[in-house]
Amino acid sequence: QQQVKQSPQSLIVQKGGISIINCAYENTAFDYFPWYQQFPGKGPALLIAIRPDVSEKKEGRFTISFNKSAKQFSLHIMDSQPGDSATYFCAAGMDSSYKLIFGSGTRLLVRP
Amino acid sequence: NAGVTQTPKFQVLKTGQSMTLQCAQDMNHNSMYWYRQDPGMGLRLIYYSASEGTTDKGEVPNGYNVSRLNKREFSLRLESAAPSQTSVYFCASSETWLSSSYNSPLHFGNGTRLTVT
């Protein structure tokens, strides 16, 4: 029940295309869903986050879509750029806890 | 500001050797964490320190010990390294112990790549 399942493991997209990464969870107590972005040789950094009271959150080219009934959420990167090439981790947590459960990561490559 | 600084960046150990990974943050954060990152497994919490003077086990604490030296520094010790501890180790900090709080995201260092032969 504590797992967060992330797919795909890797993704190749052409410049200008849309990148979509999906995550699913089981624990309905989760109420915080962040995405972290990690460049090679660096630590992860918070990219965007959502709470389950909204179905979508957009920040620039990055959008989180959230489906509470299906217990799924996804990251959409519009107009993908080579500079977006990185590993992306979804995560889930509870606002009353230290615990943040990470997905297994998706390695995104955006080709020029 | 440097953020979260980890040393060393790389380390190779033989089985049975010990070492300490160092971490320091300059953001005046109360909480600090140690994660390990393994291919296909995401990030898993080893230990955390909600505030200065406290430490608690995370998901995968076996084989590790930690010390919260002061508000800025949080070290991770491997007493007798094993090949299964080959990994990339990340230290992180957050303003509060509620690491999942919307207003208190995790800030990560750049990691220590450890190989145990």
pLDDT reported for residue B39: 87
Q: How many CB atoms lie within 10 A of CB B70?
A: 10
Residue B42 to residue A102, Cβ atoms within 8 A: yes
In degrees and rounded to multiples of 5, residue A66 shows phi and psi of: -125, 130
pLDDT bin (cut points 50, 70, 90) of residue B99 is: low
Pairing of strands B10-13, B112-116: parallel
Of B50, B100, B111, the CB nearest to A93: B100
pLDDT bin (cut points 50, 70, 90) of residue B101 is: low
Residue at token pair 């900090």: B93
pLDDT bin (cut points 50, 70, 90) of residue B92 is: very high
Residue A43 to residue B92, Cβ atoms within 8 A: yes
| CB A55 within 8 Å of CB A33 | no
Q: What is the pLDDT of residues B36-91, one digit of tens each?
A: 999 888 999 999 999 999 999 999 999 999 999 999 999 999 999 999 999 999 99
d(CA A32, CA B84) in angstroms, rounded, equals 31
Residue A98 to residue B31, Cβ atoms within 8 A: yes
Rounded to the nearest angstrom, the minimum Cα separation between B35 and chain A is 11
Rounded to the nearest angstrom, the minimum Cα separation between A81 and chain B is 23
SS3 state at B24: strand
Handedness of CA A18, A23, A28, A33 (dihedral sign): negative
Question: At residue A96, does pLDDT exceed 80?
Answer: no
SS3 state at B62: coil
pLDDT reported for residue B1: 66
